Amino acid sequence: MSQPPKNPFDLTGKTAVVTGGNRGIGLGLAQGLARAGANISLWARDAASSTAAAESLAQYGGETQTVRCDVSAPDQVEAATLQTLERFGRIDAGFANAGFGEAADPLKLELDDFHRVLATNLDGVFLCFQAWGRHMAKREGGGKLIAISSISALFGTPLQPHYAASKGGVEALVRAYATRLARYDVQVNAVQPGWIVTDATAPAVANERFSETVVRRIPARRWGEPEDLEGIAVYLASEASRYHTGDTLRIDGGYTIF
């Protein structure tokens, strides 16, 4: 084992990719990583949001690159990987966070709509893990792959069958890559956020009745914020998690145990 750094959470000089890093949970992850010293490559489709996000990270002193990428498109993931490597030379940690959900009745859901959700939420994680994992295996020296799952992987979700299936698939994918890449000292884990305030959940937050029901079930008695994901991002990207792999770590204020 190489000599551990003085501060096992220090990410100075490391490069982390965050897909969907221009807002919401992705920006929370990126902020934690930047505050710990990492350089960040933000991948997303909306260039203006990515530029604004990069500007907000500048205060932490590392470098931030923005890359336009739809993670459901294999050629775009390949191109984005090359663009990140051209700028930073290596990828130390990759966070496959980009994702979305839609409400649909499982008895009426069309196959195309089912596939559209899986294309970003599951294919996207697969494509990123493969591109980043190949790079890490080739360059040697270890690395970190992290996927953002959801507590929907656990619960019956009557109106989001495709979303739930994608997140269940993500967790299985994590275990597959964790076992395959262990020989290269690459740790692979999933994070399961609970109810977090983002653009995606804004309608649910605004729905007073729904929001009250949610908060009543959270021992922390509040919705999570993207910043609540900063710590887990740093841990999973850092030397501190060097013997932790194939796991799913839940960040939900206690929702699932209450």
Alpha carbons 109 and 53: distance in angstroms, whole number: 35
- The kind and range of the H/E element at 251 are strand 248-251
How many binding residues for ligand NDP (CB under 6 A)? 30
Coil, strand or helix at 93 = strand
* CB of residue 6 to ligand NDP, shortest distance in Å: 32
Residue 71 as a binder of ligand NDP (CB under 6 A): the answer is yes
From 105-113, 180-188, 198-206, 242-250, span contacting ligand NDP (CB under 6 A): 198-206
Helices (H) and strands (E) in the chain, counts: 9, 7
CA 183/CA 160 separation, integer angstroms: 36
Residue 157 found at the interface with ligand NDP (CB under 6 A): no
Round to whole Å and give the CA distance between 233 and 94: 10
**Which listed residue (85, 104, 137, 200) binds ligand NDP by CB under 6 A?**
200
- Whichever of 201 and 241 has its CB closer to ligand NDP, that residue is 201
CB atoms < 10 A from the CB of 62, how many? 20
From 213, 231, 215, 98, select the one nearest 167 (Cα to Cα).
98
Position 22 contacts ligand NDP (CB under 6 A): yes
199 contributes a contact to ligand NDP by CB under 6 A: yes
- Looking at the Cβ atoms of 36 and 44, the one nearer to ligand NDP is 44
Distance of closest approach, residue 1 Cβ to ligand NDP, in angstroms: 33
Per-position b or e across 155-177, b if 16+ CB within 10 A of its CB: eebeebbbbbbbbbbbbebbbeb
Nearest CB to ligand NDP, comparing residues 182 and 202: 202
User: Minimum distance from CB of 21 to ligand NDP (Å)?
Assistant: 6
* Smaller CB separation from ligand NDP, 194 or 242: 194
Q: How far is the CB of 195 from ligand NDP (least distance, A)?
A: 5
Q: Which of 20, 94, 133, 253 binds ligand NDP (CB under 6 A)?
A: 20
- Among 4-12, 68-76, 105-113, 234-242, which window interacts with ligand NDP (CB under 6 A)? 68-76
Contact 24, 199 (CB under 8 A): yes
Annotated active-site residue 163? The verdict is: yes
Task: Pick the closest to residue 127 from 145, 112, 113 (CA basis).
Answer: 145
Residues 87 and 89: their CA atoms lie apart, in Å, by 6
Q: How far is the CB of 3 from ligand NDP (least distance, A)?
A: 35
- Phi, psi values for residue 202, rounded to 5°: -50, -45
Among 15, 201, 241, 245, binds ligand NDP (CB under 6 A): 201
- Catalytic site positions: 163
Q: Which residues bind ligand NDP (CB under 6 A)?
A: 19-20, 22-26, 44-46, 49, 69-72, 97-101, 120, 148, 150, 193, 195-196, 198-201
